[in-house]
Amino acid sequence: MIAFHPSPALRRSFRTFITLASLAALSACSSLPNEWQSSLVGNKPVAATSKTGANLLGAAAAGNAEALAIEANRSNEPGLITRPLPVDALKADKSSTGQQGDEEGRTAVGKPTDPFRPELSLNLDDAEANKDLWARLRKGFALPELNSELVADHERWYSTRPDYVQRMTERANRYLFHVVEEIERRQMPTELALLPFIESAFNPQAMSSARASGIWQFMPATGKDFELTQNLFRDDRRDVLASTRAALDYLQRLHRLFGDWHLALAAYNWGEGNVQRAIKRNEKAGLPTDYLSLNMPDETRHYLPKLHAVRNIVARPDSFGLSLMPIENHPYFVSVPIQRDMDVAVAARLAQIPLQDFQALNPSMNKPVILAAGTPQVLLPYDNASQFIHNLHRHRGPLATWTAWVVPKTMRPAEAARQVGMSETELRSLNKIPARMLVKSGSTLLVPRPHQREQDVSESVADNAMMSLAPDLPPMRRLTVKAGKRDTVASIAKRYKVTPAQVAGWNKVGTSAKFKRAQAIVVYVPVKAGKGRAMAASRHTSDDDGNKASKRGGKQQRKAVASSDKAGKGRTTAAASGKSRQAAAKLTARAKVRAQAPSRQSNKLRVAGAP
């Protein structure tokens, strides 16, 4: 089969033609919310809002190329991408527009901008750079060389695994342009754009055993330090734009701290405190403090050699017998605003892209629903952005079948499931609730959205949704036990069938602590067991109701239970207590049988006052 590969110019012209047709249709939809309006200038989506958006749509509908160019040039809003427009695609009839294109077939429009920084213009005049992002990347290489044999080792490793390199570059194709844009804006070495190859193989869903996540592998705590939201519905450590900003902020801070890119990168991997301590150790020993001279873990020792190996392969792929997949030097995606909660599957369907492609561009979503209050925009391939807007406007019916529910009180999952109309199994599975756990008050759960519900999830819930669980333990009773002569934390724990850690925690002592004789010890036991054990240890115990067994009471009880009488077959407890002057109700609690109840033949009844 022969595959047809149109040139970039031809593809851009075709996209422009399709876009103008779509815009003409959209301009007739006066009820379309301003925030949802979007158009394409050239082959790039333009987020059109308020007056600018209306003017863009009107200019496109009228076929006025100059007006469209002027309005596009005026706009400087987040998500705006513009590109010089071929006159053939926009030029209207001379009598209606009164304008013609310039000699080069282009209209005078504003410089292209990037979603990262709308104020940053893109230089797309370089024909070579325009078609090859790798060439642009090579021009910014600025890291000093690393004289280590490990670099050659990793070059050999990558060069013998072309399939692995191919998979990495295929994933990088979606994100690399935007990373390079931000690095160049900050005037940082462009080798840093290759760091996600080392960290995650450019997989935004990558999760390490230490819980680092995203293409830049942020730990939870570090992510919070750099304002990467992590809640029930989203994890911005996986958000490509947000995490890239945070990673470059962090690398710049480390470079200011150490004044050396190699040390900054080592600190990014190992931690700045560890690198500082390693430097101090070398200074104290009179040793050099450069990267290669520091004593560090193997992972950090190999970290920079891996990066330099990838840099060398990108610089000279032919020298290593590799061929890099071409990556075009233009944005892969654009930001599109949303105003209503929306299922992830619905968003993908409206954009007419496979679900996995939508998730690859929006990997921060933790749940199958996008909460507009917390995630007010989605990323889409720029070829699909206008289609998404068009389909969204025509859509009828619910956009979201899921919503967030805040638990009003601590409850079992079964009770929560009944309240929201779903099975306990489904609720547990959807919200990852383990067995024998309670859902604490204030927790947020993902539940089906009622058909009649119109209100979306609030911003406070969308930004702070968390789930807290507590062990589903039986009711516990607090006992205060007086320690014996040789009692320890371990002996008390064994006696009451709890763990030493629990006893230590209840009494604020260590797990190996010893108690003084008659020292008051707090323990918690199940209610049923607590009652029995409280009677068994009545001399030493007071319960949480303040009922204390004094020494005097203990002597009276021992006197009361000193005698016993063998119960015969068919005899009742009242009959068995006939020799006693006390009523059957005064029987000691140890018999654990009710008054007037038939006693088993083998039971021994201890009768108060019996001889």
- Active-site residue numbers? 199
Nearest CA to 365 out of 249, 467, 457, 229 is that of 229
User: CB-hemisphere CA count at 13 Å for 107?
Assistant: 26
Residue 286, phi then psi, degrees to nearest 5: 75, 30
Tokens for 128?
């070579």
Instruction: Determine how many CB atoms are found less than 10 A away from the CB of residue 546.
Output: 7
548, 549, 553, 558: CA torsion to nearest 10: 160
Length of the chain measured in residues:
611
Rounded to whole angstroms, how far apart are CA atoms 344 and 355? 8
**Look-up of token digits 């330090």:** 225
Task: For the chain, count helices (H), then strands (E).
Answer: 26, 15
Q: Quote the CA–CA distance of 382 and 102 in Å, as a whole number.
A: 27
Both tokens assigned to 364: 């921060």
DSSP state of 275: H
Helices 8-27 & 50-62 angle (0-180, nearest 10): 110
Taken in order 213, 216, 217, 223, the sign of the CA dihedral is negative
- CA 488 → CA 80, 150, 603, distances in Å? 70, 56, 36
Strands (E), 527-605: 541-543, 565-566, 604-605
For residues 82 and 119, the answer to whether their CB atoms sit within 8 Å is no
Residue 492 exposure: Cα atoms within 13 Å on the Cβ side: 36
User: Is the Cβ–Cβ distance between 437 and 467 less than 8 Å?
Assistant: no
